[in-house]
Chains A and B, each alone.
Chain A
C-alpha cells in the first residue's frame, strides 16, 4: 500500500487512525468525573502533540539515522515561527503561505548552519550546533530587535497588530489564522451523556500534515538515501572507502530535519500567531532530543510516541498541585499522606523540568533504545517464556531418545 511494505503500512494505518480519532481517545473520562483531569483532548494540547510530533520525526531523520546529535534544532523551530508571523503581518492570515515560508526559511538557514557545522563530527558538531542556536537566540532576543531594525520584537515576541498591512486580507475572512476561510479555532463540540469531545479544525490541519510527514519519513527510512544515512552512523570510514561522499548525505539529512522543524514552528505560529525567542532556547533543543530518545531514536514510531508522552505529562504534571496530591493520597494515614505529598511535591507543578531532567538521565542510562526498545524487551520476555516451555519439551524429548541410541 502506498509503496510501503506490509509492516510499515500497518504502522502507518495505526498512526493514521490514532491521530484521526484522537479527540475520542484522549478524552476517555466523562466531564466532571474525578479522572477528567487526565483527559488530554483539548484542542491546544492535541495540536501540540502533533506539532511536536512533526518536530521529533524530523529530528529523528538526522539523529536517529546518522547519529549526528544536533543541540540546535530549536533555532529552526523559532525561525519557522517568525517567518509565519511575518506572513500574517504582511500578507494574510491564510496558513498556507505562512507554512510554506517557514519551511523555506528554516531550510535555507539549515543549509548554511549545516554546511558549517557538518565540517566537524562527534562532539564538535554538537557544540557547534549549540553555539549556533544560542547565537540565533541572542539575535532574536535582542540583536534583531532594535528601533532601527526590528525583525523579532525582542522580549515581547512578534505578533500581529491591527495596524499591520495584511495586503491580501479581506473583510470576509476570519481575523485569525485560517485555511482558506476555515478558522483554526473553530471547534465542533460533541456531547454524549457525560462525555464531551472537541473536534478542532486547527488540530485536524496539523494532524493531516503530521500524517503526511510521517509517511514521508517512512519513505526516507526505507530509501537508499536512508540506508546511506544509517551506514554513516554505523561506519563512516567504510562508506567513504566504498565510493560514497558522506558530506552531502549528512547535509541533506540536516536540511530535511531543519525543514521539519521549521514546519513545526510555522504550525505553532499558525495555531497561535505569536513567535518568541524562548522557543529557540537550548532547553527547547534539549526537549526535542529527549522526545526522540525517549521514544526510540532511529525507530519510525518512537519520536511520535516520545513527543506525545512528554507533552502529555508536561500538561498533567503542570496542572497538579498539592491539593490534588492530597486527594490522591487521601487513602493513606494522615502522616503518610503528608509525607508522600512532600516527597512528590518538588516534581509537580513548576517542578516539571526536574522530572524532565531525571527522565532524561534515566532513559539514557537504562533505556538507550527508548520506549520502543523497552516495549520490544517486554515482548521478548513474554516470547522467551513461551519458547522456554517448548525448549524444555524438546530437551526432554532429546534425553528420552539418547539412551536408546
Chain B
C-alpha cells in the first residue's frame, strides 16, 4: 500500500507538468485548431524566467569588507548583490532565496506578451493554411526559441534552487499512519503539485464561470457559428493563446528547482505532452489533465527497480507504448468526444 502510494506521489510532479502543458496544447488546438509545436519551448522559456530572475537578483558589485582580512592581512574584496545593498542584508538575501516563486510575477507578463505576439504575428496567418504548414512553422519557432536561450545561457543545465524554507523532504508516511521513512517526499514537489492543481482549477473555473469562458467553450464546439453571432471570437482566441502560453510558462518556472533547466527540455516535454493530449482525447480539457497525471504516474511506476529489471528501460518507452495502444483501440482517447478527429 505505502509502496503504491509512493509511486503515485513520485509520478505527480512530472504528471503535473504534462497536465499543464497538455492543457495549453488542448486549449490552443480546441480554440484555434492549431497544433502548436512551440508549446514545449514556451515551457522552457518559463523555466528560464526563473534563471533570469535569479541571475538578475544576484547581480553583484565588489565591495571592500574591512571586517574581513585575507591571509596577507589586506581587507577582503567580496561580491555584494545590489539587492542586499538596497534592501539590507537580510531582506535582500531572502528575496534572492525566493527568486523562483518571485519569478512567477515575471513569467506571467512575459508569457502573455510572447503568446500575444506569437498569435498576432505568426499563428494568425496560418489558420487557413494546411495543418502541415502550422506544424512546420511552429516547429521552426521552437528551434529558434531554444537556440536563442542556448545562445544566452549555454548548453548545460543551470540550477535554480527552491527557497530554503521548502528544501528537504517530509515524511508523508508518518502523517498518514504508515511506518516512518516509508514515504519520504520532497517538499517542493508537493508545492509544485499544489501549484498546478490551483492553476488547473483556475483555468477550469475561468472557462466555466465567466462569459468569456463560455464563449471560448462555445467556440471550441463550433467556431463558425459563434463567429456568426457577431462575437469577436478572434480577439478572444488571441487572449486564450496568451493564457495557454502563460500556463506553460508557469508550469516551467516552478519546475526549474525539480530539474535544472536546459535549452532542450521543452522538446522533451512537448513530445510526451502530445502523447498525453492524444491519450486524453484531442480537444478534451479534462482528458488532457487526467491523462497527464495518469501517464506521469505510469512513468514513475515503470521506473521502479522491479519494472526496470524485468524489462530494462521500460520507463523510457512506456508512455509511447500506452499511446500506441490507446490510439489503436480507442482513437478518440479516454475522454474525447465521439467523432472528433477520429481519422
Chain A residues in contact with chain B, CB under 8 A?
63, 67, 69, 71, 116, 119-124, 126-128, 130-132, 134-135, 138-139, 142-144, 146, 148-149, 282-283, 286, 289, 293, 346, 351, 353-354, 356-361, 364-365, 368
Contact = CB atoms under 8 A, between A and B. Distances in A.
B130 to A, nearest CB: 8
A131 B136 contact: no
B275 A131 contact: yes
Contacts of A63: 132
Nearest to B151: A346
A358 B135 contact: no
A119 B314 CA distance: 25
Contacts of A282: 267, 271
Interface string B307-332: 00000111011001101100110010
Q: Is the interface of B mostly helix, strand, loop or mixed?
A: helix
A353 B324 contact: no
Nearest to A124: B341
Given A126-B135, A148-B312, A286-B139, A143 B317 contact: yes
Q: Is the interface of A mostly helix, strand, loop or mixed?
A: helix
**Chain B CB within 10 A, most for which of A127, A149, A283:** A127
Contacts of B313: 138-139, 142-144, 146
Contact of B331 (A120, A130, A293): A120
B141 A357 contact: yes
A122 B33 CA distance: 12
Contacts of B271: 130-131, 134, 282
Contacts of B129: 368
Contacts, number: 121
B2 interface: no
B109 interface: no
Nearest to B145: A357
A146 B144 contact: no
Interface in B240-284: 267, 271, 274-275, 278, 282
Given A120-B331, A354-B148, A357-B147, A127 B278 contact: yes
Nearest to B311: A143
B202 to A, nearest CB: 27
Contact of B140 (A119, A127, A135, A357): A357
B224 interface: no
Nearest to A359: B140
Contacts of B128: none
**Chain B CB within 10 A, most for which of A63, A121, A354:** A354
A351 B144 contact: no
B324 A116 contact: yes
A134 B323 CA distance: 13
Given A354-B148, A365-B125, A143 B316 contact: yes
A321 to B, nearest CB: 15
A364 B328 contact: no
**Chain B CB within 10 A, most for which of A134, A149, A356:** A134
A184 to B, nearest CB: 33
Given A351-B147, A361-B141, A120 B136 contact: no
28 contacts: A67-B132, A69-B135, A71-B135, A119-B327, A119-B328, A121-B343, A123-B35, A123-B131, A124-B282, A124-B341, A126-B35, A128-B324, A128-B327, A130-B271, A130-B274, A135-B320, A138-B317, A139-B316, A143-B313, A282-B267, A346-B151, A353-B147, A353-B150, A357-B140, A357-B142, A359-B140, A360-B140, A360-B143
A207 to B, nearest CB: 30
B144 A361 contact: yes
B312 A146 contact: yes
Nearest to A127: B274
Interface string B37-69: 000000000000000000000000000000000
A127 B328 CA distance: 14
Contacts of A360: 136-137, 139-140, 143
B222 interface: no
A139 B314 CA distance: 9
Nearest to A289: B136
Interface in B203-244: none
B80 to A, nearest CB: 31
A134 B278 contact: no
A135 B323 CA distance: 11
A131 B274 contact: yes
